[in-house]
Structure 1
Amino acid sequence: MTSHQERYDNWAPDYNKDVAARNYDGPEYMVEYLMELADANKVPVSPSLPDFKILDVACGSGLVGQMLQKKGFSHIDGTDLSQGMIVEAHHSGAYQTLMAWINLNQPLPFFLHGQYDLTVCCGVFALDFVEPKSLSHLVQVTKPGGTIIMSTKTTYYDTYDFAGYYQSLVETGALELVDYRMNKPYLGTEADGHYWVFNVPAAQEGAA
């Protein structure tokens, strides 16, 4: 058992209460940001689209899923490293399918690849959790033409070369940067976060 997994398994029953006390507003900010872009037709995201599927990667206790559910999205799946957190996410009632023991430092299970119109990852790209290359794992599970929205803690962004890594994916055509916001609400007065919205390009006609 990894130290992070054990920590979050133990924390799970009190997690929502504890982060509320610290004014963890990342999930709410991320979903509001997403809906602003959707309303401006910058991303193909809408709860009214038939069969629109969302994957909440490292979903924790389900805070993002609950925010998305309130916006009318109905097909939300979630993964997390912690079984304890998955239990809490199940209690939220926001998810159709939940999968535990999924480590974002490794490629996500093959049966998830290319399955989701929207991939969400909030609060995970933080110090010592995942490497920037884990962004490529988010790309894998997103449908061509689909959207990724994620956050990086400011300290993570300053310490790791996240910008360099995502730019390398853009240069190879694996990803397109749609929008971003820097130094926005994340964890009350303790920390700010950066928010990133990417498009996974649709396969080009005639491509091998």
Structure 2
Amino acid sequence: MSTPLESSCKSTDSNPSNPKEHVCNDWSETMKEGIDKDVIESVYTEWATKSNGSYDEKMAPYFYTGSYYVAKAVNDNRSDKNIRILDIACGTGFVGQHLNHFGFSNVDGMDASSGMLEKAKAKHVYKNYFLSAIGPPNPPTEIPDHKYDVITICGGLGPGHIPCEAVDEMIRIVKPGGLIINITRASILERYSEYKNKWEPYIAKKEEEQKWREVCRTIFKNYCFGKDGIMYIHEVL
């Protein structure tokens, strides 16, 4: 019989509808090599607050199929609904909504875009909100060591987004035995210089240093705009 962790580690076809090309125009603005972090934050804020063709309307049916699978992975592996969860790059709260649906209510959200956080606040799916990026060149967060049982990240990787080195800060704020669950478009790890030939060696180095262990990685077919996704689950040691 498969353990809960093993059940979260099988290749999955998310089978979303095929989106039209124009749906991802705003998203592509945030995925330019060398883009400045301040520009990214302003683009996301503008996108979240548009009255016509907003982030929620464009991304929910397509990009955020992953938010369900991230929340389900938490549910598969943690029966205690009172655990502390931090949703990094929480956006407008899609992961938070799914976590709430599964019965998890002790969830905090972190995002670098004020506009995204304002939208998330309106959904009342998080207890605390952090307007912050994570990882260098940003200073460490003010979050105490070992505060959270689980960290979730859905779609947080990209040029100028969450750097490889942010893993260290995530490990610091998760309790030993806690999980870091991260889903991203697989092609991002090969396409952009911030991750190409860097992401895999970096996460492997953390394992060699006995900071965490990789529990599994899951491939999701047609995760985002017809592209495959990958979800990593790591246990902090």
TM (norm. structure 1) is 0.84
Contact 1:127–1:155 (Cα < 8 Å) also in 2: no
Identity %: 27
Contact 2:93–2:120 (Cα < 8 Å) also in 1: yes
Q: Give every structure 1 segment of 4 or more consecutive aligned residues whose post-TM-superposition deviation is greater than 4 Å.
A: none
| Pair 1:88-2:124 in alignment | no
In structure 1, the partner of 2:65 is 25
Q: Which of 63, 68, 79 is the matching residue for 2:110?
A: 79
Contact 1:26–1:185 (Cα < 8 Å) also in 2: no
Contact 1:153–1:193 (Cα < 8 Å) also in 2: yes
Partner Cα separation in structure 2 for residue 108 and residue 58 of structure 1: 16
Partner Cα separation in structure 2 for residue 119 and residue 132 of structure 1: 15
Change (3 A) 1:56 1:23: closer
Supply the AA of the counterpart residue of 1:59.
C
Contact 1:118–1:142 (Cα < 8 Å) also in 2: yes
Deviation at 1:143, TM superposition (A): 1.1
In structure 2, the partner of 1:205 is none
In structure 2, the partner of 1:179 is 216
Deviation at 1:130, TM superposition (A): 2.5
How much is the aligned-residue C-alpha RMSD, in angstroms?
Answer: 1.9
Contact 2:134–2:141 (Cα < 8 Å) also in 1: no
Partner Cα separation in structure 2 for residue 69 and residue 171 of structure 1: 35
Deviations for 1:54-89, whole angstroms, at most 9, x for unmatched residues?
A: 000111000000000000001000111001111111
3-state SS of 1:132 partner = coil
TM (norm. structure 2) is 0.74
Partner Cα separation in structure 2 for residue 46 and residue 185 of structure 1: 29
Change (3 A) 1:130 1:112: same
In structure 2, the partner of 1:10 is 46
In structure 2, the partner of 1:143 is 175
Supply the AA of the counterpart residue of 1:100.
L
Contact 2:111–2:133 (Cα < 8 Å) also in 1: yes
In structure 2, the partner of 1:42 is none
Q: Which of 185, 206, 222 is the matching residue for 1:153?
A: 185
Contact 1:126–1:153 (Cα < 8 Å) also in 2: no
3-state SS of 1:124 partner = coil
Change (3 A) 1:185 1:94: farther
Contact 1:146–1:200 (Cα < 8 Å) also in 2: yes
Partner Cα separation in structure 1 for residue 123 and residue 94 of structure 2: 8
Supply the AA of the counterpart residue of 1:70.
H
Supply the AA of the counterpart residue of 2:67.
P
| Pair 1:46-2:46 in alignment | no
Deviation at 1:133, TM superposition (A): 1.7
Supply the AA of the counterpart residue of 1:125.
L
| Pair 1:35-2:75 in alignment | yes
Supply the AA of the counterpart residue of 2:216.
D
Change (3 A) 1:16 1:47: farther
Contact 1:107–1:137 (Cα < 8 Å) also in 2: no
Q: Which of 148, 164, 167 is the matching residue for 2:204?
A: 167
Deviation at 1:200, TM superposition (A): 0.5
Structure 1: which 5+ residue stretches go unaligned? 39-44, 202-208
Q: Where do 1:110-129 residues align within 5 Å?
A: 110-129=142-161
Change (3 A) 1:21 1:176: closer
Supply the AA of the counterpart residue of 1:179.
C
